[in-house]
Amino acid sequence: MAATLIHAQERNIALSGTGAKADGQRRVALVIGNGAYADSPLRNPVNDARAMAASLRELGFEVIARENANLQQMDGAVREFGRRLERAHAGLFYYAGHGMQIKGRNFLIPVGADFEHEDEVAYRSLDAGQVLDKMDSAKTQVNLMILDACRNNPFHRVFRAKRQGLAEMDAPAGTLIAFATAPGSVASDGAGKHGVYTKHLLKQMNERGQPVEQAFKQVRIGVVEETRERQIPWESSSLRDDFQFRPAPTPVTGIVTEAALELAFWEAIKNSTRADDYAAYLEQFPKGRFLPLARNRHMELQKPAAPVPQTPPMTAPAKPAAAPRPAAVSPAPTLPLSAAAAATAEATATPSFSLPGSGLAAANFSSDDAWLAVVGRDGQLQIHNAATGAAQRTFSLTQALSAVRFAPDNRHIAVATEGGETRLLDIGSGKEIWRRQPHAGRVMSLAFSPDGRYLLSAAAQGDVELSTVATGATVQRLHNEGLPMIEALYSPDGRYIAVVLGEGRSQVVKVVEVGSGRQLLAVAAAAAAFSVNGRYLLAAAGGHTPTLFDIASGQELRRFARYPLAIFAGAYAENGRFVATVDADGRGQLLDTRDGRPVGSVRGPRVQPRATAFSADVGRFAVIDSEGRIAVYRFEEKS
């Protein structure tokens, strides 16, 4: 994946690289935890450093982490830190382990250090001032140095001086220096998994919208209370810029959203030669700024024209034999059908099965179609037999859940919360592998890359994050300015990301190339689905007309008959021959991708769906209604 900041062709989409925040301000951290000392080993520094590194990554920092480092390894890490700080907005250095003061300077003790006299310390340990020098050279606007290194000096027996703890340090401009305890005092290593100081710091770093100065104040209050004033954390600060570990979300105003929606919609249709595209604009933006131009083009395109030769039927791309089976091809919205199809099967079908209860928010079939996972506001993840509905496993995750996705191996599963958190779980053991909070609000959708190495999460407020499945670390961000996010899809070949933006009937589908950020396609459509080989996109142009596009060229290949009702969701079959759709009234249709002919239909629950899911072979689909009740239907082939 590229690690550069890239602006896509449209002004409301930008793709940013590794660890970048949505606002483009890079954060870089160096974390060192030393505990394996031959003389006076420490139990918690490595645990503290691991937890700190994980938390900082989740907060958008690029993290350099070292454990039980010798002097050469510490020096090398500081050099790398200095290089990465160039053009960064914020730098953070965290150290847990032994440290000591010599002649008013603070030294951080490497593992393996051996001193016979205190005059050797300056040459055989890391001077904390070196780290400050790197920050100063990089001219980062916010610098944080956190030293949980005030334990008892293990070498005091061979030193003449009996100084305890670390010496006071003056913070250079734009810097905050935090000590686990006051200068000249010592801190406890802690009786639990973490040191007392780091335990409270980890908690405060995750408080959304809390200024950094307030965070350290709350740490001090917590440590003082827990240690009964035996340990009093201390800071020296000359910060000039505001800084928050977890920034508060920036609300998107309705005015900005409406203007952005209209502009994006117009950009998607302005070169169209179809009258119904302009009709859709006139219907959705009756007072729009492009109203006169849209009306004129609509009238011009309604004039009789010479007949256009029909494009011969196009064979749908077959699934490549060597390609891995896609993980439940991401439910994509949209694909319509003919008016004749809409008139069939008016009797409501009996579902294959329904599940008891309500409040469900999302569902997903496993890639082998054996299991159906559902999540809801009660915080429960339920896994059922996809054929019978029989319950298999239930996980209680405490927070309201909003999205779920099986990994391609069907051994892991990702879930997301209403509050913007994502988690990866091992299905067999029920163990949580990692937990992160990359978003400030409701996560709308999740999608795995076809090789299972990356997870794509999309939040309602408009940001999309690509993270590694192994650790949950951020790889790339896709951020749009002003447009609400409905869904983000990963193409089965791993080359593209499609985003569905907007609200109500004012929706736009855009396809961006992974890595380069190059926008290849933009269409005014309610939703979209990738073909199984990733070469084609089927989208409901104007919300009603299924249209097939070649992604690489952006060329429109075919339009099928306009469907009377808006399409809510759709998905390609794994064999590439069929597309399944569910409309705004819960009706399911199965289409032949070669000619758009309906080959199967189910009259669903006659309600506006809240969410849908399709099996990999698109032979079945699940509908969650507005009350959060779910039913699973099977397509019946038309004779």
Structural domain boundaries in the chain: 24-237, 339-637
Euclidean distance between CA atoms 66 and 49, whole angstroms: 8
Structure tokens given for 622? 């699940």
Is there a common fold for 24-237 and 339-637?
A: no
Q: What is the pLDDT of residues 160-185, one digit of tens each?
A: 555 566 877 878 889 999 999 877 66
What pLDDT shows up at residue 162? 54
Q: Are the C-beta atoms of 192 and 245 separated by less than 8 Å?
A: no
Say if strands 90-96 and 27-33 run parallel, antiparallel, or are unpaired: parallel
What pLDDT shows up at residue 525? 76
- Cα separation values, 374 from 304, 370, 397, Å: 51, 14, 13
What pLDDT shows up at residue 1? 27
Residue among 405, 445, 446, 402 nearest 425 (CA): 405
332 DSSP β-pair partners: 570
Three-state secondary-structure class, residue 39: coil
What pLDDT shows up at residue 199? 92
CA atoms within 13 A on the CB side of 288: 25
Give the fold, CATH level 3, of 24-237: Rossmann fold (3.40.50)
Euclidean distance between CA atoms 143 and 237, whole angstroms: 10
Residue among 254, 202, 11 nearest 94 (CA): 202
pLDDT, averaged in runs of 10, over the chain (639 residues): 28 36 69 91 92 88 93 95 91 94 89 85 92 93 90 59 70 90 66 85 89 95 90 90 79 48 69 74 76 81 56 37 34 35 53 90 94 93 95 90 95 93 93 88 90 90 85 76 77 86 75 78 81 85 78 81 78 83 84 80 81 91 90 77
Say if strands 474-480 and 371-376 run parallel, antiparallel, or are unpaired: unpaired
Q: What is the pLDDT of residues 345-358, one digit of tens each?
A: 345 678 899 998 88
Euclidean distance between CA atoms 526 and 425, whole angstroms: 32
What pLDDT shows up at residue 328? 33
501 DSSP β-pair partners: 485, 508
What pLDDT shows up at residue 526? 76
Three-state secondary-structure class, residue 148: strand
b/e burial code for range 357-384 (CB count within 10 A of at least 16 → b): eeebbbbbbbbebebbbbbbbbbbbbbb
487 DSSP β-pair partners: 500
The pTM assigned to this predicted structure is 0.55
Torsion of CA 417, 361, 463, 484, to 10 degrees: -140
CB atoms within 10 A of CB 114: 9
Residue 191 burial by Cβ neighbours in a 10 Å radius (0-12, 13-18, 19+): exposed
What pLDDT shows up at residue 259? 63
Q: What angle do CA 442, 572, 491 make, to 5 degrees?
A: 60
What pLDDT shows up at residue 320? 35
Euclidean distance between CA atoms 488 and 349, whole angstroms: 31
What pLDDT shows up at residue 581? 85
Which CATH number is correct for 339-637, 3.40.50.720, 3.40.50.300, 3.30.70.100, 2.130.10.10? 2.130.10.10
Q: Are the C-beta atoms of 142 and 177 separated by less than 8 Å?
A: no
What pLDDT shows up at residue 357? 85
Direct distance between the N- and C-terminal alpha carbons of the chain, in angstroms, rounded to an integer? 48
Three-state secondary-structure class, residue 484: coil
